[in-house]
Amino acid sequence: MTPGPDQLLEMYAAMLRVRLFEERARELYAGGRIPGFIHLSVGQEAVAVGVCAALRRDDYLLSTHRGHGHLIAKGGSLRALMAELYGKASGCCKGKGGSMHIADASVGYLGANGVLAAGCVLAPGVGLSIQMRKTDQVVVAIFGDGAANRGPFHEGVNLAALWRAPAVFVCENNRWASTTAQAVSTAGGSIAQRAAGYGIPGVTVDGNEVLAVVEAVGEAVARARRGEGPSLVEAQTIRWLGHYEGDPQLYRGKDEVAEGRGRDPVGRLRQVLEERNLLDAAHAARIEAAVKGEIDDAVAFAEASPLPDARAAFEDLFAFYPWRD
Amino acid sequence: MATVEYAAALNLALREEMRRDPRVYVIGEDIVLGVPFGVTKGLAEEFGPERVLNAPISEAAIVGSALGAAMTGLRPVVDMHFADFVTCAMDEVANQIAKSRYMFGGQVDCPLVLRMPYGIGKSAGGHHSNSVEGWFINIPGLKICIPSTPRDARGLLKTAIRDPDPVMVFEHRGLYRVVGEVPDEEELIPLGSAEVKRPGSDVTVIATARMVHAALEAAELLAREGISAEVVDPRSLVPLDRETLAGSVAKTHRVVIAEEGPMRGSAGAWLAWVVMEECFDDLDGPIARVAGPNVPIPFSPPLEAACTPDSEAVAAACRQVLK
């Protein structure tokens, strides 16, 4: 799909929203405001935004441990997301999920996941539900290059292909499975090629180029909506930061991050917009100021929100459970 | 009342619920033919292949897809084929199904049923014989029922299908051909309702699934010796009907807990704790437990028999606690 001028500007704002949110989360984490551990997607914004630009609000998204950007791009509340990272009662999961388990069902975001490729087996079931309810929704499962070596990836793609499920599998390939390079963990080299084994389309795109991502995913989504079954898109990108915040990254040199910064997905979209006379410096400054304002608001909301009452730890296990264990 | 086999009672429950609610579908390996146990036999003829899904041998995808479907509006009933194979979908059960509602702060319902054909018998060997309910007792977020009779099987499965939360139904393989009465009218048996299967006054035997039948046989043997044993079937382990168990112990003051799975870290061990917690002052002596030994289930008939707790073992335990 080819986004029009308005959507391109929205996508630019969304990319900036992800970038600035992640950078702010990084500062807050370093400052001890966010407990636990967090995985940030700085440098990978074109995947989140390109995928979600191809989706409707009522489409479903199954995400990964590095999922803040996916939720933001899907339209989730920044306030609820930031409050969840803080572990506050006003968080999207009432403080029970945290960074790795964020969810916002109101925008079809069915969860980040602490287990690699876990979403890949949920996807055919979401697809089955779409088929049985006879809607024209689509489900996207995002997973990383490391997850492509887990069984659920293969089982999920196989079942989705058998069922011709309205599903799109997007591999967000950032070259690293935690601290292990793709080259030494992934036989065959290409993840997109694995699609051939299941008889579905598989394409590789530049995951730092949001227009390439939205075009490939858009085509896969359109195919899925037409009832023609799943596809696999491998979006190759570069992780600017560590696997987790605090990762000393002893396993890679600085040249890779330099390469990533040289192919900055936010800067590249801005360049496209400027070339098409859709954005000038003043307009860009206004967008950036607005996005910063949203993030400031989310941080203020998270800071001001109360921590959960300890009793909340014993709620939400079941919908209906009047008994004592 | 009709007299039907346990497997047919489960089949009836599935038919009734599939007729009632178009969101209910069944999925599993070989379920169109309904082999090997016959529980899903004939469902495909009535409900079509769209709702009776023969799946590839792909347990993670079968169980994981059920969660995806349940979170987005369907009510899957998964046939695990043999409960032993749940190991191939353990992340899906333990990390995804059990935790999704909780970790998402209650945003999603996960109304799905995992039917777990389990247990020892017919020299099925180490990969098709295990009593694995104890594994799941230890996982918060799963409801667990374990029917012993055709009537309970039908009533509990129907309740499980209508429940908004994930429910595992443990069906002992050795019970599928057991016959019993099932009411003609619809019957839903609530989770968390134990039943006294035989009243007695000297000793309470808390037993599950096949061991309920072993306990009833033991009670017959003991009656001839002048011992009156009360057999209580919890019917669901999560939630657990503590009141009915405690009420029985308050009457008999002596307790035997009988299960088929291995002794160590099991459902019976949990039940023993609950009895201690609820009934310590009522107990006239230590609780005795009947359970399988801590070995894999062996193949050869005499070896398998040596690992199969039976009515003699239950009777012996009752005599012991009455000494």
Q: What is the pLDDT of residues B244-300, one digit of tens each?
A: 999 999 999 999 999 999 999 999 999 999 999 999 999 999 999 999 999 999 999
Structure tokens, A242: 């560590």
Residue numbers of A between 146 and 165 with CB closer than 8 Å to B: 151-152, 155-156, 158-159, 162
Distance (Å) from the alpha carbon of B61 to chain A's nearest alpha carbon = 5
Q: How far apart are CA A311 and CA A307, in angstroms?
A: 11
CB atoms < 10 A from the CB of B179, how many? Answer: 13
Spell out which residues of chain A touch residue B103, defining contact as CB-CB under 8 Å: 93, 96-97, 101, 103, 111
Spell out which residues of chain B touch residue A317, defining contact as CB-CB under 8 Å: 101-102, 140-141
> What residue ranges define each of the domains in chain B, with the CATH number in brackets?
2-182 (3.40.50.970), 195-321 (3.40.50.920)
The alpha carbon of residue A27 and the mean position of all alpha carbons in its chain are separated, in whole angstroms, by 20
Q: How far apart are CA B161 and CA A28, in angstroms?
A: 45
In terms of Cα–Cα distance, which of A180, A98, A101 is closest to A146?
A180
Q: How far apart are CA A112 and CA A97, in angstroms?
A: 9
CB contact under 8 A, A95 and B105: yes
Q: How far apart are CA A45 and CA A296, in angstroms?
A: 20
Test the A interface: residue of B58, B75, B143, B236 with most A CBs within 10 Å: B58
Return the CATH number of the domain spanning residue range A5-308: 3.40.50.970
The helix-helix angle for B210-224 and B311-321 (nearest 10°) equals 60
* Cα-based angle B203, B207, B208 (whole degrees, multiple of 5): 170
Region of B216 (left: φ > 0; alpha: ψ -120 to 50; beta: rest) is alpha
The helix-helix angle for A118-133 and B59-71 (nearest 10°) equals 50
pLDDT at B245: 98
Closest Cβ opposite residue B102 in set A92, A110, A317:
A317
DSSP β-ladder status, B75-79 and B255-262: unpaired
Closest Cβ opposite residue A152 in set B64, B74, B107:
B64
Closest Cβ opposite residue B60 in set A105, A111, A151:
A151
pLDDT at A322: 66
**Catalytic residue positions of B, numbered:** 128
CB contact under 8 A, B104 and A125: no
Test the B interface: residue of A318, A320, A321, A325 with most B CBs within 10 Å: A318
Is cis: bond before B36, omega within 30 of 0?
yes
Mean pLDDT of B305-322: 98
Structure tokens, A270: 């801005």
Spell out which residues of chain B touch residue A96, defining contact as CB-CB under 8 Å: 102-105
Fill in the DSSP letter of residue A21: H
Instruction: Write down the H helix ranges in chain A.
Output: 5-30, 45-53, 68-73, 78-86, 118-133, 151-163, 194-197, 210-225, 254-262, 265-275, 281-304
Whether chain B has a CB inside 8 Å of the CB on A308: the answer is no
Q: How far apart are CA A210 and CA A147, in angstroms?
A: 22
Distance (Å) from the alpha carbon of A158 to chain B's nearest alpha carbon = 9
Give the residues of chain A that fall short of pLDDT 50: none
Q: How far apart are CA B110 and CA B72, in angstroms?
A: 9
Note whether A82 and A52 are within 8 A (CB). Answer: no
Spell out which residues of chain B touch residue A161, defining contact as CB-CB under 8 Å: none
Spell out which residues of chain B touch residue A132, defining contact as CB-CB under 8 Å: 23, 25, 50, 69, 74
DSSP assignment of A168-181, as one string? EEEEEE-SEETTEE
Spell out which residues of chain B touch residue A77, defining contact as CB-CB under 8 Å: none
Structure tokens, B206: 């808390």
CB atoms < 10 A from the CB of A223, how many? Answer: 18
CB contact under 8 A, A132 and B107: no
For chain A, helix, strand, coil in percent to 5 are: 50, 10, 40
Distance (Å) from the alpha carbon of A121 to chain B's nearest alpha carbon = 5
Structure tokens, A36: 């636990």
Query: φ, ψ for residue A27 (rounded to 5)?
Result: -65, -45
| Strand, coil or helix: B169 | strand
CB contact under 8 A, A125 and B67: yes
The alpha carbon of residue B128 and the mean position of all alpha carbons in its chain are separated, in whole angstroms, by 16
CB contact under 8 A, A129 and B105: no
Rounded to a whole number of angstroms, the distance between the first and last alpha carbons of chain B is 41
Instruction: Write down the H helix ranges in A115-208.
Output: 118-133, 151-163, 194-197
CB contact under 8 A, A318 and B74: no
CB contact under 8 A, A324 and B68: no
In terms of Cα–Cα distance, which of B160, B202, B130 is closest to B13?
B160
Instruction: Write down the H helix ranges in chain B.
Output: 6-20, 43-47, 59-71, 90-91, 100-103, 133-137, 150-162, 210-224, 242-252, 267-279, 301-306, 311-321
Q: Which residue of A has its CA nearest to B98?
A: A317
Query: φ, ψ for residue A160 (rounded to 5)?
Result: -60, -40
Query: φ, ψ for residue A120 (rounded to 5)?
Result: -65, -30
Helices and strands per DSSP (H, E), number in chain B: 12, 14
CB contact under 8 A, B141 and A115: no
DSSP assignment of B237-288, as one string? EES--HHHHHHHHHHH--EEEEEEEESTT-HHHHHHHHHHHHHGGG-SS--E
pLDDT at A323: 65
What is the average pLDDT value for chain B, to the nearest integer? 97
Q: How far apart are CA B64 and CA A152, in angstroms?
A: 9
Greatest CA separation found in chain B? 59
Is it the case that residue B228 has pLDDT exceeding 80? yes
Closest Cβ opposite residue B104 in set A93, A125, A151:
A93
Structure tokens, A176: 């690293």
pLDDT at B299: 98
Spell out which residues of chain A touch residue B243, defining contact as CB-CB under 8 Å: none
- What number of CA atoms fall less than 13 Å from residue B241's CA on the CB side? 19
Beta-bridge mates of residue B28: B54, B79
Closest Cβ opposite residue B72 in set A91, A96, A126:
A126
Greatest CA separation found in chain A? 65
